[in-house]
């Protein structure tokens, strides 16, 4: 068996040379299919991180009709917490709200000195539990909070976060659709390349059968030929995606930080890269197996 394996691998690479341009076309199609799928996958991964991050940061702000006395704050917080669906909450006094606004205005904070009184209301910042971080859950929480007599207004919602999640799902669907179409074309091209080799080697294969060679010895090189095309195409796709990622990183990262709050764009983990490589090998192997079936049916007829 140890001496047979190098022979089978050598035959597979000789078959690749025999396939010529058709084999190159198969590798290119596998590269395109996995590159398209991988590009949408990277975008989806980063959007998924943004969605998870902003769901964790979701806050519902409860504005109060009047600022409660210092001794009544704890009782008010217990009353707000009793509505349910709240992970944690924090009371913000009128003075603290004004200080926060002053920091946000920066150099223009001097305009606040012209105010005769603090116009900002006191509030309670509410962090919902994870189950309430959906549009339906947040709306129900807002309704319960609005029913409290101490509450003037409640602001907050997850609609824009859910729209981001919808974009993520759309990218996943487009990536799968484009990848599937190109993958089908790649399988058919690998099948054509392997069938071409079968046609070129048909007399040689018949001689091998006559001298007692097993079907495994005859067929395995064809399978390995498709597998090699798939792995090569996948490796080129992963390498191309990583190169594009590194080139785009200086431009994309500031935009991600500004729009989505992501400090850094991420690429595939080693496990995800292994999945792409395995997918390429599977595409090529399927093409080799389909060509094998055609050869057998042709020989039987």
pLDDT digits (tens, 9 = 90+) for 125-149: 888 887 666 677 778 888 888 898 8
**What is the DSSP annotation of 128-181?**
E-GGG-SHHHHHHHHHHHHTSTTEEEEE---HHHHHHHHHHHHHHHHHHHHHHH
pLDDT at position 213: 56
pLDDT at position 301: 42
The answer on pLDDT for 60 being more than 90 is no
Domain boundaries, the chain: 4-54+161-296, 59-157
pLDDT at position 43: 83
81-111 confidence digits (pLDDT tens): 888 888 888 899 888 888 888 887 777 767 7
pLDDT band at 239 (very low <50, low <70, confident <90, very high): very high
Query: What are the backbone dihedrals phi and psi of residue 236, each rounded to the nearest 5 degrees, phi first?
Result: -65, -40
pLDDT at position 286: 80
> Nearest 5°: CA angle at 286, between 280 and 292?
145
Half-sphere exposure of 3 (CA within 13 A, CB side): 0
Task: Quote the crossing angle between the two packed helices 215-259 and 159-200, to the nearest 10°.
Answer: 160
5-42 confidence digits (pLDDT tens): 564 555 555 655 655 576 677 778 788 888 888 888 88
Give every CB contact of residue 258 below 8 A, 6+ residues apart in sequence. none
**CA 120, chain centre distance (Å):** 42
pLDDT at position 240: 92
The answer on pLDDT for 201 being more than 50 is yes
**What is the DSSP annotation of 136-148?**
HHHHHHHHHHHTS
pLDDT at position 17: 62
pLDDT at position 209: 61
Task: Quote the crossing angle between the two packed helices 159-200 and 202-210, to the nearest 10°.
Answer: 70
Percent of the chain with pLDDT over 90: 6
Rounded-to-integer distance, Cα 209 and Cα 264, Å: 59
Report the pLDDT averaged over residues 167-192. Answer: 76
Rounded-to-integer distance, Cα 61 and Cα 264, Å: 29
- Mean pLDDT (the chain) is 76
pLDDT at position 295: 41
pLDDT band at 212 (very low <50, low <70, confident <90, very high): low
| Second-level CATH architecture of 59-157 | 2-Layer Sandwich (3.30)
Rounded-to-integer distance, Cα 209 and Cα 201, Å: 12
pTM: 0.59
Residue 148 in contact with residue 83, Cβ under 8 Å? Answer: yes
234 burial level (CB within 10 Å; 0-12, 13-18, 19+): buried
Lowest mean pLDDT among 68-82, 149-163, 183-197, 241-255: 183-197
pLDDT at position 293: 43
The answer on pLDDT for 294 being more than 50 is no
The answer on pLDDT for 54 being more than 80 is no
Closest CA to 65 of 94, 98, 102: 94
The answer on pLDDT for 153 being more than 70 is yes
Question: DSSP letter at 67?
Answer: P
Rounded-to-integer distance, Cα 43 and Cα 58, Å: 22
List the beta strands (DSSP E) in the chain: 60-64, 86-92, 123-128, 151-155
Rounded-to-integer distance, Cα 83 and Cα 79, Å: 7
């Amino acid at each position: 068996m140890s001496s047979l394996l190098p022979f089978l691998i050598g035959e597979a690479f000789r078959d690749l040379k025999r396939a010529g341009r058709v084999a190159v076309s198969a590798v290119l199609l596998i590269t395109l299919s996995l590159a398209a799928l991988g590009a949408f996958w990277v975008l989806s991964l980063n959007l998924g991180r943004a969605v998870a991050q902003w769901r964790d940061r979701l806050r519902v702000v409860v504005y109060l009709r009047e600022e409660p006395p210092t001794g009544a704050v704890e009782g008010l917080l217990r009353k707000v917490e009793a509505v349910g669906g709240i992970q944690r909450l924090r009371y913000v006094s009128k003075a603290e709200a004004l200080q926060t606004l002053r920091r946000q205005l920066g150099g223009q904070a001097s305009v606040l000195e012209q105010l005769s009184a603090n116009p900002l209301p006191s509030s309670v910042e509410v962090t919902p539990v994870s189950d309430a971080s959906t549009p339906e859950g947040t709306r129900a929480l807002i309704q319960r909070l609005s029913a409290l007599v101490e509450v003037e207004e409640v602001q907050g919602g997850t609609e824009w976060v859910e729209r981001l999640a919808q974009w993520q799902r759309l990218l996943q669907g487009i990536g799968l659709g484009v990848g599937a179409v190109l993958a089908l074309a790649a399988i058919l091209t690998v099948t054509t390349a392997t069938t071409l080799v079968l046609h070129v080697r048909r007399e040689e294969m018949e001689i091998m059968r006559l001298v007692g060679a097993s079907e495994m010895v005859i067929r395995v090189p064809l399978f390995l030929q498709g597998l090699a095309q798939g792995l090569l195409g996948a490796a080129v796709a992963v390498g191309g995606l990583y190169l594009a990622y590194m080139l785009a990183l200086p431009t994309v990262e500031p935009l991600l930080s500004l729009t989505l709050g992501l400090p850094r764009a991420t690429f595939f983990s080693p496990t995800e890269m292994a999945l792409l490589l395995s997918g390429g090998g599977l595409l090529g192997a399927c093409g080799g197996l389909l060509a094998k079936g055609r050869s057998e049916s042709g020989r039987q007829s």
